[in-house]
Chains A and B, each alone.
Chain A
Amino acid sequence: MAKSAADWAARPKFPATHYVDSRIYTDQAIFEEEREKLFRPSWIIACHESEIPNPFDYRLFTHPAGVPLIVVRGDDSKVRTFYNICPHRGNTILYDPAGNAKRMTCIFHQWSFDTRGACVDITRAEQGYQDRYGKQDASLREVRTEVAFGGFVWVNIDDAAPGLQEFIGGALDILEPYMQEPMELFHFHRARVRTNFKLWHDTNSEFYHDYLHYFNRITGMMQPGYFERRYTAFPRGHATVGSMQIQYDKYEGSVERAVGWPGLARGGWYMVDVFPGMTYNLRTSVMRIDTSIPLGPNEVLIEFRGLGLKRDTPEERAQRVFDHNMIWGPFGRNLHEDLLGVHGQGRAMREGTDSRWVLQGREENSTIHDEVGMRHYYAEWSRCMGRPAYDPYLEGKPVRAAA
């Protein structure tokens, strides 16, 4: 029997930890709060070190909290990050998304900065400021930066936030054996989707949606070991997924991946979801990294990176690129399906649709179709936000009475 309005509005018959109120995906005020409480104090992956291999190489990145950043390798090869905001009149300093700049000069009035953040030139400084203001007063705002966990450039715009090691804890330990060799980026693209950023992270945090993917059903779900994959939850909302042997040759046109990854068992696949919106995804021969940059409660920009090993021969690299493209490229078999899935969620949960609840009630002893990964995420979300995801407005009862 279909549900009445009252049935639809009633809280699900699960413990409160096993569902969330779907308004957390649409509310503008909650979104603004998330930027401050989730993203501002978190360490975020801005890029990979291989994107800025040489001194003076830079890369622009818009922090999920909204701050425009310049990641730059200095004359001393150290990677630093600064606001891409001129301290003079608040203009953008660098426009091109990447490049090499010994001096970073604002085109507006030609104030110039070095790669350590010091102002090195103020045009007609003495005439205008006499001795009231000088280069020493006009440094760039530096942001905490660490290159770690596979050579990724992590940034934190909150000077008072805990360090990166404390933030990650042991969540990436499962991948450490496979990140001993330098990696190199070969793929980058973005997708802009009208959906909430958490829904993308949810998709990366549960495998029950493998029913969406023919490729994953054939090469994974129908193969031995799939249902033994287990989730492990870590403090601060991070979670990992154990490995199995993917049978790539079960999909027509695909073959067992020959290149592999140092130390990783044949056909292996590990994932680590990092709160509040990043994912490490090492699948047999390719490392993929997702970074979500929320643009609004119902819009997210997702950055996708694909990496191989720096020491790859041209043939090995070509094989990794092929493997990547087969499922994860913009024309691959899986990625567009995931994007379609979260697009559909965004469409159904927009303001006014009367979407009410999102269930996370599957319990399968923390194995692959258990929704513990999402539950763990929303426990941390609730802690950081000071409001439970299942009752974000602290109403404690059905929020919409039956008509």
Chain B
Amino acid sequence: MATLEQRRAVEELVYRSCLALDAKDWNAFLALCDPAFRYTIAAYSPEVRKDMVWLDHDKAGMTTLFNNLPKHNSDHAPLTRHVTVYTVDVKDGGGEAEAISALQVFKTALDGGATELFAVGRFHDTVRLDGGSGTLVKRTVRLDTRQLGFGYHVPF
């Protein structure tokens, strides 16, 4: 069971990670990540009855991915991540926590500002706790949404 302080540290980290990604402030996001950070996007396909991995990088891989983004063509519509931290379980004598959060991603069109629900899923985060703060050691985004349309390849 997490203490209130531990839970608050995890929530603060998860929410700040979303704000950084929403703002496309990749450096701010990476600053929240541990050197051993691992980021994965996964989904289960009922169509082929398989678990699929759609993205899998360590911190260096994520850094390269972010650096390369400007060289690629993308839909520039901003994404807004809405997250609610459901559970926080502390282990390793209080040094690490595992958190499960609900994720909804909304896309807002640049022209006209219409917003649509883009994706839903969950964050499964592993957080290293140090005093009153935390760093992301591992984030697995498990997507329920598997039909993502066109033009976007920025991690959730």
Contacts and interface: CB of A to CB of B under 8 A. Distances in A.
Contact of B153 (A51, A190, A193, A332): A332
A309 B39 CA distance: 26
B48 A340 contact: no
A214 B72 CA distance: 6
Nearest to A252: B64
Contact of A98 (B47, B52, B154): B47
A234 interface: no
B148 A98 contact: no
The A contact surface, by secondary structure, is mixed
A75 B149 CA distance: 38
B52 A186 contact: yes
Given A98-B49, A329-B55, A340 B74 contact: yes
Given A332-B153, A333-B72, A336-B74, A191 B53 contact: no
Contact of B150 (A97, A188, A336): A336
A81 B46 CA distance: 19
A98 B47 CA distance: 5
Contacts of A214: 68, 71-72
B154 to A, nearest CB: 8
Contacts of B45: 188-189
A109 interface: no
A193 B150 contact: yes
Given A187-B52, A331-B54, A336-B74, A253 B46 contact: no
Contacts of A188: 45, 47-48, 50, 52
A212 interface: yes
Interface string B6-34: 00000000000000000000000000000
Interface in B47-63: 47-50, 52-56, 61
Contacts of A59: 47-48
A112 B106 CA distance: 43
Contacts of A339: 149-151
B102 interface: no
B65 interface: yes
B92 interface: no
Contacts of A251: 68
A214 B146 CA distance: 25
Contacts of A342: 150
Contact-residue bracket for chain B: 20 to 34
A354 to B, nearest CB: 19
A335 B155 CA distance: 15
A73 B61 CA distance: 41
Residue of A97, A189, A341 most packed against chain B (CB within 10 A):
A189
Contacts of B74: 336-337, 340
B146 A331 contact: no
A185 B48 contact: yes
A395 interface: no
A118 to B, nearest CB: 26
A190 B146 CA distance: 7
B148 A191 contact: yes
Interface string B113-142: 000000000000000000000000000000
Interface string A184-203: 01111111110000000000
B3 interface: no
A137 interface: no
A32 to B, nearest CB: 25
B64 A325 contact: no
A87 interface: no
B13 to A, nearest CB: 22
A290 B45 CA distance: 17
Contact of B48 (A98, A212, A329): A98
A329 B152 CA distance: 11
Contacts of A336: 74-75, 150-153
A192 B147 contact: yes
A188 B64 CA distance: 26
Contacts of A187: 52
A99 B45 CA distance: 12
A331 B47 contact: no
B54 A330 contact: yes
A29 B150 CA distance: 26
B149 A191 contact: yes
A343 interface: yes
Given A325-B55, A330-B54, A340 B151 contact: yes
Given A191-B149, A193-B149, A253-B65, 8 more contacts: A97-B47, A98-B46, A186-B52, A253-B68, A329-B55, A333-B68, A336-B151, A339-B149
15 contacts: A59-B47, A185-B48, A185-B50, A188-B48, A190-B146, A192-B149, A214-B71, A215-B72, A253-B64, A335-B153, A336-B150, A339-B151, A340-B151, A342-B150, A343-B150
Nearest 10 A/B pairs, CB to CB: A339-B150, A253-B64, A340-B151, A343-B150, A214-B71, A97-B47, A336-B153, A331-B55, A188-B48, A329-B54
